[in-house]
């Protein structure tokens, strides 16, 4: 059974082996052993009360093997402002002749400062399509629910933006690179270290999308093909689309109040532990800080019954939440 847990220093080499293949656009995924070690140091510091630490790192483990990692940034804007582009819609009509125009603009904002970010998700290639992504994503929401005082009341996720068949970002190529005149990879890495160049180079005035190639308008707020599933999963867990997008690749940003996530809304404390099957998946979680554990399995909410196998693994101090909102997903698919 897959177990979601807080990462430790012993996991450093295994995590680095997985994330070494992470490419540009995944700024918060550490792709070197040193990067992973630094992330783990921050994570351990945060869990022990270091006020300067601002990362928490998790892994999913299966039979002793690390299958993927995910993270939380507890407070955006703590180290530097968190910049996004905000999309606004405009309409004009002439009073002299029957002429009208509609257009959108993008303007640099820091709307997500003081949010908690769900970040850094990455899965081993041989673990994809096997439910690991769901556990890596929802396990974080269980952790936040179990430690509400450590995180902000508002959550967000910055989804990787769309690229073409050659791996190029039209958003970067036709918009951002005109102001930040360097390679995407260089700007992406630099933004994780020192983001002052963003406010120094990007215009403070609105950027008019109707003056740019149509492809920019098309991919602003559009997820990468490999990230669409992760975005849909978070939307089924309560996250909503916003008018904000990433300043480098135009990827969409989604948000949700911490007390409105699916995990928070459907949580119950298990009283019995003999459920062997159910028609939906449930997140089971227990423990505090470094002892936190979570797994996916069957449950039966009417009688507050948890999965028997999970109880044997994690113990009987279990909280259980619904792990998929089929009605919400059906509505999204229909729309």
The CA-based angle 251-257-260, given to 5 degrees, is 115
Distance of CA 257 to the CA centre of its chain: 14
Alpha helices per DSSP H over the chain = 12-19, 33-47, 132-146, 170-174, 184-193, 196-201, 214-219, 228-236, 262-266, 308-314, 326-334
Mean pLDDT of 169-179: 96
Proportion of the chain above pLDDT 70, given as a percent: 96
Q: What is the pTM of this model?
A: 0.92
Q: Are 151 and 56 in contact (CB under 8 A)?
A: no
CA separation for the pair 69, 59 (Å, rounded): 4
Mean pLDDT of 279-305: 96
What letters, b where the CB count within 10 A reaches 16 and e where it falls short, cover 185-219?
eebbebbeeebeebeeebeeebbebeebeeebbeb
Least confident of 95-99, 152-156, 182-186: 95-99
Q: Are 246 and 26 in contact (CB under 8 A)?
A: no
Q: What is the mean pLDDT of the chain?
A: 92
Beta strands 65-73; 56-62: pairing state: antiparallel
CA separation for the pair 190, 247 (Å, rounded): 13
Task: Using pLDDT thresholds of 50, 70 and 90, give the confidence band for residue 95.
Answer: confident
Q: From its phi and psi, is residue 334 left (phi > 0), alpha (psi between -120 and 50) or beta?
A: alpha
CA separation for the pair 107, 79 (Å, rounded): 22
Task: Please report, to the nearest 10 degrees, the dihedral formed by the alpha carbons of residues 202, 206, 207, 208 taken in order.
Answer: 180
Mean pLDDT of 229-239: 94
pLDDT at 257 over 80: yes
Task: Using pLDDT thresholds of 50, 70 and 90, give the confidence band for residue 327.
Answer: low
CA separation for the pair 334, 232 (Å, rounded): 13
CA distances from 12 to 9, 189, 271 (A): 5, 21, 37
Cβ contacts of 248 within 8 Å, gap of 6 or more: 25, 161, 169, 171, 172, 176, 184, 187, 188, 191
Mean pLDDT of 168-190: 93
Distance of CA 53 to the CA centre of its chain: 19
What's the pLDDT at 125? 82
Task: Using pLDDT thresholds of 50, 70 and 90, give the confidence band for residue 28.
Answer: confident
pLDDT at 333 over 60: no
Mean pLDDT of 9-30: 81
- Tell me the pLDDT tens digit for each residue of 189-224: 888 778 899 999 999 999 999 999 999 999 999 999
Cβ contacts of 265 within 8 Å, gap of 6 or more: 238, 259
What's the pLDDT at 27? 66
Give the DSSP letter string of 160-212: PBP--TTS--HHHHHTGGGTS-S-HHHHHHHHHH-THHHHHHS-SSPEEGGGS
Query: 3-92+102-266: which CATH architecture?
Result: 3-Layer(aba) Sandwich (3.40)
What's the pLDDT at 191? 85
- Of 95 and 162, more confident: 162
Task: Using pLDDT thresholds of 50, 70 and 90, give the confidence band for residue 280.
Answer: very high
**Residue spans per domain, the chain:** 3-92+102-266
Q: Are 27 and 188 in contact (CB under 8 A)?
A: yes
Q: Are 151 and 110 in contact (CB under 8 A)?
A: no
Mean pLDDT of 115-143: 91
What's the pLDDT at 26? 62
């Amino acid at each position: 059974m897959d177990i979601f847990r807080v990462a430790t220093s012993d996991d450093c080499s295994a995590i680095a082996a997985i994330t070494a293949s992470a490419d540009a656009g995944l700024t918060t995924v550490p792709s070197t052993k040193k990067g992973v070690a630094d992330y783990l140091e921050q994570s351990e510091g945060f869990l022990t009360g270091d006020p300067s630490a601002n990362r928490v790192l998790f892994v999913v483990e299966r039979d002793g093997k690390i299958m993927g990692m995910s993270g939380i940034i507890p407070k955006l804007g703590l180290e530097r402002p968190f910049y996004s582009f905000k999309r606004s819609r405009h309409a004009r009509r002439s009073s002299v002749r029957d002429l009208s125009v509609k257009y959108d603009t993008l303007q640099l904002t820091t709307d997500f400062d003081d949010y908690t970010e769900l970040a850094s998700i990455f899965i081993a290639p041989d673990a994809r399509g096997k439910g690991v992504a769901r556990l890596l994503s929802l396990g974080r929401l269980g952790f936040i629910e179990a430690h509400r005082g450590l995180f902000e009341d508002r959550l967000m996720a910055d989804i990787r933006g769309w690229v073409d068949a050659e791996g190029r970002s039209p958003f970067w190529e036709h918009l951002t690179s005109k102001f930040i005149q360097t390679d995407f990879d260089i700007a992406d890495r630099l933004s994780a270290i020192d983001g002052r160049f963003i406010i120094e180079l990007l215009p403070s005035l609105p950027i008019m999308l109707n003056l740019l190639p149509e492809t920019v308008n098309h991919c602003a707020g559009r997820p990468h093909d490999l990230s669409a599933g992760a975005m849909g999963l978070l939307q089924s867990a309560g996250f909503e689309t916003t008018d904000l997008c990433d300043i480098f690749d135009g990827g969409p940003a989604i948000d949700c109040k911490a007390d409105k996530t699916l995990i928070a809304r459907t949580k119950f404390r298990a009283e019995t532990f003999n459920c062997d099957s159910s028609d939906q998946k449930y997140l089971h979680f227990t423990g505090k800080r470094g002892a936190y554990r979570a797994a996916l399995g069957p449950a039966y909410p009417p009688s507050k019954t948890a999965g028997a196998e999970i109880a044997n693994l994690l113990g009987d101090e279990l909280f259980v939440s619904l792990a998929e909102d089929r009605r919400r997903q059906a509505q999204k698919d229909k729309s």
